[in-house]
A and B are shown apart, each in its own frame.
Chain A
Amino acid sequence: MGTPRRAVLRGAGAAVAGVAVVGLTGLAAGCARDEGPDELEGPLAAARADAATATAAVAAFPGLADRLTPLAEARRAHAEALAAEIRRARPDRAAAVDAAPAPAPAPASAAEAVTALSGSLGSARDAAGALALTTASYRCGLLTSVAASCAGQATVLA
């Protein structure tokens, strides 16, 4: 049992490293058998929505800029990383990934904006954390960081 298992793990690690470095044309074909949305499309939509909500809130209430501008930047970075991973693994989902997100409406008040973002960050943390436990190795690292960042951002808003 022991030796084959180790060999499998090493092989998987090497494959992931190779993918990260070269950018991977071969594996994309292998993944093309997947059907339906990529599992990262939910976290991607959540990251884009938070970035849009925070940006709209800062535009309406500039006093929120100190707290919400870094949040918007982090969630935008999450969206870019998640979109890049979906494009890499699932070229067939490019249309869904590239679809323009809906603009966020201006919040009624600063407090309402902060409350809404606190809630959505908590949901994003839970969703990314749950997915981190079941996904592939490389994605596990990315989702672990995204979940942790959302938890940290929620702490800043608290």
Chain B
Amino acid sequence: MTSPPGPPAPPPLSDDLRDAVLAALGTEHAAVWSYGLVSAFVPPATTATVTAASLAHRERRDAVVALLAREGVTPPAGAAAYRPPEPVTDATSAAVLAVVAEDDVAAAWRAVAERTEADTGGELRRLALDAVTAAATTSVTWRRLAGRTPLVPAFPGDGSAT
């Protein structure tokens, strides 16, 4: 990083890609918040899944904030609270919220992936692949609990998942 005459500046994010990354960051904030609520309602057998998923979203959120900082972008903080699409009152509705949160993350990150170039977008592509993959695997638990099928979308993040 310090070799003279200084590291080459990374190519700046295009406006379109920056907006997609900011949208993805927003879904990570929302997912972290959602798992806080979800954890109060789902069965103890899923505690490990909640903990791992929540940690993964926080780590990815922090990675994106760091990446944006390197680009000179100051990202907005997460909202204090979010409005679930349906009230969360029991294990089933909590699982539905978790599915929504994971699907939102997958969709936002696929949109990032589609806006990257192979030569400059390596880090974002890796983050996107990890994010969409984790969403597809984690949401199996929540789709099962919510009674949703199929348990795995054919194209996670393409907007057609339920």
Interface residues, chain A, with chain B CB atoms under 8 Å away:
1-2, 5-6, 9-10, 12-13, 16, 70, 73-74, 77-78, 81, 125, 129, 132-138, 140-142, 144-149, 151-153, 155-156
**Given A9-B14, A137-B116, CB of A148 within 8 Å of CB of B125:** no
Interface residues, chain B, with chain A CB atoms under 8 Å away:
9, 11-12, 14-17, 106, 109-111, 113-118, 121-122, 125-126, 128-129, 132-133, 135-137, 139-140, 149-158
B contact residues around A1 at 8 Å (CB): 9, 11-12
Main SS at interface, chain A: helix
| Contact A132 B11, beta carbon cutoff 8 Å | no
**Given A5-B11, A74-B150, CB of A141 within 8 Å of CB of B133:** no
**Given A13-B16, A152-B137, CB of A145 within 8 Å of CB of B157:** yes
Residue with the highest number of chain A CB atoms closer than 10 Å, among B12, B117, B135, B155: B155
- A32 CB, min distance to chain B CBs, angstroms: 21
| Contact B150 A148, beta carbon cutoff 8 Å | no
A contact residues around B132 at 8 Å (CB): 144-145, 147-148
Contact pick for A144, options B128, B140, B149, CB 8 Å = B128
**Given A5-B12, A9-B17, A10-B16, CB of A151 within 8 Å of CB of B133:** yes
Assembled-state Cα–Cα distance A28/B157 (Å)? 27
**Given A129-B129, A136-B118, A156-B151, CB of A145 within 8 Å of CB of B156:** yes
Assembled-state Cα–Cα distance A5/B16 (Å)? 13
A contact residues around B155 at 8 Å (CB): 77, 81, 142, 145-146, 149
| Contact B154 A144, beta carbon cutoff 8 Å | no
25 CB-based A-B contacts, threshold 8 Å: A1-B12, A6-B12, A9-B14, A13-B115, A16-B114, A70-B151, A74-B153, A81-B155, A125-B133, A132-B125, A132-B129, A133-B122, A140-B125, A141-B111, A141-B114, A145-B132, A145-B155, A146-B155, A147-B133, A148-B135, A148-B157, A149-B156, A152-B140, A152-B153, A156-B152
| Contact B125 A10, beta carbon cutoff 8 Å | no
**Given A9-B14, A133-B122, A136-B118, CB of A78 within 8 Å of CB of B154:** yes
Assembled-state Cα–Cα distance A155/B132 (Å)? 14
Assembled-state Cα–Cα distance A16/B111 (Å)? 13
Task: Please name 17 further chain A to chain B contacts, defined as beta carbons within 8 Å, in addition to the given A148-B129, A151-B136, sorted by A numbering.
Answer: A1-B12, A5-B12, A16-B114, A70-B151, A77-B155, A132-B125, A137-B113, A140-B116, A141-B158, A144-B110, A145-B154, A148-B157, A149-B154, A149-B155, A152-B140, A155-B136, A155-B152
